[in-house]
Amino acid sequence: MERLLRGHPLRTVSVDGVSAEFVTDAALVRRILVKDGKHYGKGELFQKARILSRAGLLAQDDTLHRHYRRLAHPYLRTAAVAGHAPLMEEIARDTAASWRPGQPVDVQAAMCRAASAIALNTLFGALARETSDVLGAHLAALSWEMIRKPLYGRAARSPQPSRRLAKAFTAFRTLLASCVAGRLGSPAAAADHLSALLADTGPDGAAALSADQICDEAVMMLTAATVTTASVMSWALHLLAEDPLIEEKVLKDLARTTAGGEGADAAGRSGHGHGPPGYALRFLMEVLRLYPPVWITCRTALSEVTLGEHALPAGTHVMFSSYLLHRDPGRYRDPHRLDPDRWLTLRPNAQDASYLPFGAGARGCVGEAFAWKELEILLGAVAREWRLTLPPGSRVRAAAHTTLHPQRLLMIPQPR
């Protein structure tokens, strides 16, 4: 893909026989997402999991999307994330404690389970342990099916992955529906995202979403929170094991942070504050640069638009890849090399789109602060306890499916 598209700010491509304009210029991508964002809608070019809700955050209507974004924001903003941190830490510690020396760990499956438990217990409030365990297991299974679902080509059109995905979706959603029904019948109010969805009303005072729509919105939020974290953490643990010098620096920074009792300000430590982020955060920023989970995106022009020197009619599919943008040699020196220290001087620039781990504009990820905190806590919990290595002779390959994830990642833990 890099050889085909590099050097062409805008190039016509075909995806499963459908024409699209592929954009590689960061300034033009920012125009699509930010300046002219209202002229582009969500694209449906790729075979993503279309079983997800279109009633809330994924609604095409901008007004509806903004409403549900505001509804979710109080539970995902930086101040709320600080309150979630103790529960995140408990789940992360339990994950690390469940591993045994010398016994191979399916890292992606483990990270799916950890991320699903965090998403469920923070966004849905405290759940009974048995309920949380059962729901978490089904959410992890659904998330794994979504992670590895092909986006395009013959494999994407094959019914087999769709059957597995539909089965996992039905199993999780059925259990979730019973939890939602129980909350509907409970007079006690709770301060969590599910309660906000249940309490939401329309202009006439009636419930804005049906119970079914609330379930679907919850599935979307929970799976989105799980699949991206699981993919990023899998790459982070793999890359940490591959470079002992970087691993040593990450461990020293984690020890310093723990000893000093410092909390991670997701905005400041990811490069948007007044000082450079600590080494562990620089490492995570670099992991997200090299392996952004949402690696390719499609938008559709809602009206005639101008992109650079090109006039595009309404209905045009426009694509861009954060993977390519993040490896642009014009922006990043030695772009394929893992170098956390590049973020000492290079800062995410709001004026372009050369670093898009969480998207940008009105439809950028509402859970960015939540994700930074979760990633740092999971990294610390695992790295402090275990030194991970690959089994002899194994080779890790990237799989560009719904997320960009390791095709298979078995690792052997040994105590520090």
Distance of alpha carbon 222 from alpha carbon 141, whole angstroms: 12
pLDDT interval class at 248 (50, 70, 90): very high
Distance of alpha carbon 208 from alpha carbon 172, whole angstroms: 23
Contacts of 192 (CB under 8 A, 6+ apart): 75, 122, 123, 124, 125
Which residue stretches of 185-321 are H helix? 193-199, 211-242, 244-260, 266-267, 279-290
Q: How many CB atoms lie within 10 A of CB 247?
A: 17
Distance of alpha carbon 231 from alpha carbon 325, whole angstroms: 19
Among candidates 54, 116, 47, which has minimal Cα distance to 401? 47
Asked whether the CA dihedral 163, 167, 169, 170 is positive or negative, the reply is positive
Tokens 């994950």 -> residue: 95
Q: pLDDT tens-digit profile of 90-140?
A: 999 999 999 999 999 999 999 999 999 999 999 887 677 888 889 999 999
Reply yes or no on whether the pLDDT at 160 is more than 70.
Answer: no
> In degrees, to the nearest 5, what angle opens at C-alpha 413 toward C-alphas 411 and 416?
145
Q: Which comes out higher in pLDDT, residue 409 or 201?
A: 409
Distance of alpha carbon 65 from alpha carbon 45, whole angstroms: 20
Interval 351-372 mean pLDDT: 89
How is residue 277 annotated by DSSP? P
Q: What's the pLDDT at 253? A: 95
Distance from the Cα of residue 199 to its chain's centroid: 27
Q: What's the pLDDT at 185? A: 67
As a whole-number percent, the residues of the chain with pLDDT over 90 amount to: 55
- The amino acid present at 161, given as its one-letter code, is P
Among candidates 143, 88, 161, which has minimal Cα distance to 118? 88
Q: Which two structure tokens, joined as six digits, stand for 134?
A: 């059962």
Q: What's the pLDDT at 266? A: 45
Q: pLDDT tens-digit profile of 252-311?
A: 999 988 765 554 454 444 554 546 789 999 999 999 999 999 999 999 999 999 998 899
Distance of alpha carbon 383 from alpha carbon 416, whole angstroms: 9
Tell me how far CA of residue 195 lies from CA of 26, 57, 71, 412, in angstroms. 39, 16, 10, 41
Interval 166-181 mean pLDDT: 89
CB 107 within 8 A of CB 234: yes
